[in-house]
Structure 1
């Protein structure tokens, strides 16, 4: 008999009923140190008092209006995002998946309005994850994502991640409308795109007129120690997908774009019932105001250095379990020699939560305001987990 919840998830046998900071408590009263943060969503930890205040203050005013009317909280968040980024305009969604849908539509509509309706191809890369909608899985193109869901939305050109020569050749096609890439692949195994590659992509798009779409759903919102990961390369996109951390745990996403890239999206071309609702935008503005300060970003960088140093020691202590650490800021991955699922499960036994990814990597995506004490405790628990898997243990 099918369960009342559609069985599409392989869930761990854990039920959390309360959170505080970087800690979660189960219905059995056991505490777990959370290094996953809801897959980079709870950017400021669980039950953050500032976000609780922002949410409850708005909840006592108005929850939902729909986009039939002006929404002051939405306008305030849009103004703040435009002021702090490359963008001239913003459209609010409820998730990264919805942001992907609009980004694809926006790029294709741009060329349609330019009188080039056949210019619809979007270049994407192996290992990518852009959500689970029809456009998102077609963009990723992996068998795991698309099998059984055909026919696929056409127009995506799939290249191998890191194959610069193949990219240069693909950009010669006059029907390329856009390039879509994550500055750091998350689901793909914490694989950063080199700064030089992002610069070359920006230059190629400038030369051909193609739009550069960056998916910063997982790597954005201060996760890397910059407000957005592309800032490390000194480039800007034409369109950017944002979600996860921007809501601090409340469902919120946004597509940011230049005026030029968004020029085709006029009244009636896109919409969302819940996108930009007062509750989400009130929380999002509180998150953005906190994580975008120089002091906060500097602290993310410092904590990243501390965590990475301790992880290097962990790897040295367990060379039969771990191979290396990679990533940027507080978006780090442990490349494993044993099965990454075994590492995650061993972590459960030590009451520490991590997240598996492709390429046999375990992701560490803690709250951006995790304390130094909790970083030390987390690595101590990972050390015990690794010891239980070590051939010497």
Structure 2
């Protein structure tokens, strides 16, 4: 099977890495890819949003399956164009991808489906939104840009004053352009976050191993929100009982509601869950593999990923053998550029990649890198996802941070506490 992966980040590198190891896969291409995917596969210099050229490439090169990594091509309708050309593709259609493309749509369809989530209001007028904030008894709230904002459009506000400022930035100053023409203001949920990813072929749902992301920039879950500073799998907070509840109360109702709405869902459905004292509540849905959860989860997959994704795209997940997983846990530590998630510089030469990649049970996934001359240099905010497995979480963490210590560039930084929450739980 010849497979094309669309995208250029750490998630796509993890997909490429596992597909390359799949017995059913003979050739892997990545468009546009990065220096890491260029080692594990063949890079194709077509941008992820250039649908016409990607379709042309898939036809010309007899691609058996295309796997879309990032959300923007999905929301723009890449799957619809591939299907029009009778090409197999893993991911939701444009109408189904609105589940991630619009926070307003996601909240409204959750309400219709009876999916547990925080109470919310939608605004396009700043004065009305601020008036609502002033009337609330709770100082805290969450303000979300309606559209896609590269993982930065969600702000957990600790006070009404902070919420007012965020609302002005989004609705008046158009901080995220058209993505913040509308905002969602919702109650702030208290608990612990977990990520549950599931493969969905329109009717059958196959949950993947659990993971926990770290959205805040700094240790102790402090600082601004980011696209994700690290992850580990499995997440001890996601017990088999909790997974069953999420499947029954969240995934099944939303998949059925999407079908009723004429938006049948195929692809990877990612539920960001807050585990509260009242039970699990949905924070958000994504319509693709999470980043960096994918790096941690796929590092543990032993099944043939090519066959798994093809079954999902073909609507035959019910015929698939149960997925096989490495019982050892994994930890992914994101190394970021100085200044991220704000403005950051690019083009810093990266040292120590070979040394880190040569360590046992370690894989360095490239996220924001490029080649300049003979050097791999930084080219994004989140630069690398250093991922490792171990016999237990402390050992997986140790392996990951040993690899991190090998890698250097001017301004490199990372959180030092990835997986500590889970380790503390296991000690208790």
Q: Please give the TM-score of this superposition, normalised by the length of structure 2.
A: 0.32
Query: When you count strand as a share of all residues, which structure comes out higher?
Result: 2
